[in-house]
Amino acid sequence: METAAPVTADAPVPLTEPREGLPEVTTDPAKLRAVVDAVTNGSGPVAIDAERASGYRYGHSAYLVQVRRAGAGTFLIDPLGVPDLTPLGAAIADTEWVLHAATQDLPCLAEVGMRPTTLFDTELAGRLLGLPRVGLGALVESVLGFQLEKGHSAADWSTRPLPEAWLRYAALDVELLIELRDTLERQLRDSGKLEWALEEFAAIVAAPPPEPRSDPWRRTSGVHRVRDRRGLAAVRQLWLERDSLAQQRDLSPGRVLPDAAIIDAALAMPATPEDLAKLPVFKGRAQRRELKRWFGAIAAARALPTAELPPQTARYDGPPPARSWASREPEAAARLAAARAALGEIAEQHTLPVENLLTPDTLRRVVWDPPDPPTVENVASAFRARGAREWQIRLTAKPVAESLTSTAI
């Protein structure tokens, strides 16, 4: 198995070149077959990463996939030239995949036909170990003693041809991923947390695709400034119009029309296209070309019957924001404070972030509407129904049940 140099107290060693040199990019299906053969004949886990063009392109597709395995080396694959990576995915389906922040990359890998059956997430491992910084560069530096160059993480990876410096950066992202995984696994085992990590990794693999967001337009930055329903209708119409155009042009929506422009227009509710054109962003050449489109969205919002205007707040099936509990439901606020204190002690005892011990949403929902009676078994069932893992339930059900009981007296 590949090994890295031990960590020392010296300054980290800059990692500037892949150990076997910069590989050629695989750009056609015929060359993919050679990659599949090489990776299949390698040994041990497979390190995988993907580069997207978030902030530049409409979706979150992969524009480069990096794969590394001991005995095979590193491979860079261009999904524009090889859009179907199902043969590679099938070849390594029963092998452990090593990813950093797996939930970010798994959706775009699934798009090209790659889905794991088992994985190791180095970022999540770092969180469970309570490490202060869990970015890939920080972990490689603190755990292995090497320094990665991270200057191209936010680049437009849809660019073609990809600059050599970017490709080198991409190859180095998987260069030490296996070594990092091995060291983190040893630390997890030594700290008694390996079984926790394995449960977490299995939950990531088993998780269904996320449900589409309800009313995604409500995530427009600055929407809280729009305080009337007709203005919100304008935000919605402009958002939908922008989304359609962004998808058509394959551009990030923010590059088609900034969120700030949507909010400014919704606050001003201009009566004519000329009035709209006076707003700062809409004075630009690009927006003036689409002025008819944008004003049409505002006009559509202005013409909506009152009954069809969006509600002031989004529909939500959970409890209200915790900050309002003290005034609205002081008993619930007391339960939440006691439960949070109990979880804080456990998290400190085990040196891990409290949000990894139990998700804040799960705690709020169960504390807002606690089981009756709040026994350990009933609290455990409530946590399990919300997707908590068994290791989390073993640590948290009893102290939360005790906090609920104590505050009920």
Reported as a single tens digit per residue, the pLDDT across 265-294 is 999 999 999 999 999 989 888 888 999 999
pLDDT for residue 1 is more than 50:
no
Question: What are the Cα distances from residue 103, in Å, to 50, 100, 121?
Answer: 12, 9, 9
13-206: CATH, from 3.40.50.620, 3.30.420.10, 3.40.640.10, 1.10.1200.10: 3.30.420.10
Contact between 130 and 149 under an 8 Å Cβ cutoff? The reply is no
Segment 31-54 shows an average pLDDT of 97
**Main-chain phi, psi angles of 218, to 5 degrees:** -70, -10
- Nearest residue to 108 via CA among 61, 76, 63: 61
Question: What are the Cα distances from residue 145, in Å, to 4, 51, 73?
Answer: 9, 24, 21
Question: What's residue 151's pLDDT?
Answer: 75
- 216-308: CATH homologous superfamily? HRDC domain (1.10.150.80)
Query: Residue 315 — pLDDT band, cuts 50, 70, 90?
Result: confident
Question: What's residue 409's pLDDT?
Answer: 59
Residues of the chain with CATH 1.10.150.80: 216-308, 322-408
Class (C level, CATH) for 322-408: mainly alpha
Q: Mean pLDDT in the chain? A: 95
Contact between 183 and 123 under an 8 Å Cβ cutoff? The reply is no
Give pLDDT tens digits for 63-117: 999 999 999 999 999 999 999 999 999 999 999 999 999 999 999 999 999 999 9
Residues of the chain with CATH 3.30.420.10: 13-206
